[in-house]
């Protein structure tokens, strides 16, 4: 079955991806000995939580039309599909190296890139009248994550 998604469904998935990100950073922080490095990762986890709240606010502001399903889906399979992707694909499917902050940042950048590619693909599955343009907000947030992680990684590398 081919699905068209709406902005509401994508924002719901984005919220889950942010929760996965916060969990990732907390897990990574737990494996480091250096208190400053742990604190940095815990701040990143907090940022992911703030992004989740931002996406919740944006989602709350969607129009009724942007919440309307375009596909006849009485069993709710489309939402289950998105939840499965959000839970499995971004921040949790990859085996990441938590042995050093450099490796953690490299892995996080890769995951953020994957999430951007995923959202770009999802833009093709959201019709214009169901909030396609709102996905750009999510993509820009994820690009901001990459810039921040890139700056932090550059500080660590000689």
Helix/strand/coil (H, E, C) string of 88-102? HCCCCCCCCCCCCHH
In this predicted structure, what is the pLDDT of residue 59?
87
Q: What is the DSSP letter of 33?
A: -
User: Is a pLDDT exceeding 90 seen at residue 150?
Assistant: yes
Question: How much is the pTM?
Answer: 0.77
For the chain, domain boundaries: 7-156
In this predicted structure, what is the pLDDT of residue 53?
93
What six digits make up the tokens of 12? 């719901």
In this predicted structure, what is the pLDDT of residue 90?
53
B/e letters for 23-52, b = 16+ CB within 10 Å, e = fewer, are ebbbebbeebeeeebbebbbebbebbeebb
pLDDT digits (tens, 9 = 90+) for 77-132: 666 666 665 555 454 555 677 788 999 999 889 888 888 887 887 787 777 777 77
pLDDT digits (tens, 9 = 90+) for 33-65: 899 989 999 999 999 999 899 889 988 988 888
Kindly tell me the burial class for residue 105, based on how many C-beta atoms sit within 10 Å of its own C-beta (0-12, 13-18, 19 or more): buried
Superfamily classification of domain 7-156: Ferritin, core subunit, four-helix bundle (1.20.1260.10)
**Among candidate residues 113, 118, 101, 81, the one with its CA nearest the CA of residue 152:** 101
Terminal alpha carbon distance of the chain? 51
**Among candidate residues 116, 114, 102, 100, the one with its CA nearest the CA of residue 150:** 102
Phi, psi of 141 (to 5 degrees): -60, -45
Q: Which residue has the higher pLDDT, 103 or 71?
A: 103
């Amino acid at each position: 079955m081919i699905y068209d998604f709406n902005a509401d469904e994508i924002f719901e998935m984005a919220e889950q991806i942010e929760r996965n990100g916060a969990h990732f950073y907390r897990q990574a922080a737990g494996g480091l000995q250096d208190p400053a490095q742990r604190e940095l990762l815990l701040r990143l986890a907090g940022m992911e939580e703030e992004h989740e709240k931002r996406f919740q606010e944006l989602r709350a502001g969607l129009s009724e039309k942007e919440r309307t399903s375009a596909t006849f889906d009485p069993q709710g399979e489309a939402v289950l599909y998105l939840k499965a992707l959000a839970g499995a694909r971004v921040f949790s499917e990859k085996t990441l190296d938590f042995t050093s902050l450099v490796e953690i940042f490299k892995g996080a950048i890769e995951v953020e890139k994957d999430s951007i590619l995923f959202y770009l693909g999802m833009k093709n599955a959201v019709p214009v009248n169901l909030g396609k343009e709102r996905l750009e907000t999510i993509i820009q947030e994820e690009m901001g994550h990459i810039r921040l992680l890139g700056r932090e990684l550059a500080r660590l590398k000689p």
